[in-house]
Amino acid sequence: MNGDREMAYAMYLAGMDVKDVHMTDLISGRETLEDINMIVFVGGFSNSDVLGSAKGWAGAFKYNEKARIALENFYKRDDTLSLGVCNGCQLMVELGLVYPGQQNSSKMLHNDSGKFESAFLNVEILDNNAVMLQDMAGMKLGIWVAHGEGKFNLPLSEEDYNIPVKYSNDGYPANPNGSDYSAAAICSDDGRHLAVMPHLERAFLPWQWAYYPAGRKMDEVAPWIKAFVNARNWIKNI
């Protein structure tokens, strides 16, 4: 992966205790996730994407019993959160972690442009019940995308999904992948499990932005850090 350090620092800055868990830890049984309240599936290129985006990573969960059971037990608990970003978002969709058991399951498809899209663009946070984003509704924020298979294929009606974040416009390049309903993220119905294609961990400090408002030069952190603080506060209060 190549997004683990930014993610770990954003979580640490928000006040969390952070540790790396590798697939080898889960497969061997060295790690069971029993003492973890939040999993973040980080962005980047798992297995160099040679097996398709997140397909190899998903297979490591599906076909290794200890890893599969650890993940299943984590999602059975009601004191847990999860976040998947980019490759991690693809993993959550591939494993059905956001809408388990849903008929006509969601998929991540190749971008309509047929190419890898890397851009700094705008998203809008809608009214939502997501633990990490609920009190950020109404914000319109810049964020990075960097993916080749970022199109949310959502075969059911929009009302069947919890979509907390949308791209600012339906058309390309504002919607860089052609996602149904301009979705940039989907969330579980209870608000605890969030899958996001854009990289919020690459935009939680002002200098990471391609453009930052001139009137906010004194900001030490950018608004995206609030999502991580919200997660930390939820964990603290359970």
According to DSSP, residue 141 is labeled E
How far is 58 from 205, CA to CA, in rounded Å? 31
User: Hey, how many other C-beta atoms are within 10 angstroms of the C-beta on 12?
Assistant: 12
Which positions are annotated as active-site residues? 86, 199, 201
d(CA 98, CA 70): 17
Terminal Cα distance for the chain, rounded: 31
Which of 59, 61, 38, 39 has its CA nearest to residue 50?
59
CB 137 within 8 A of CB 163: no
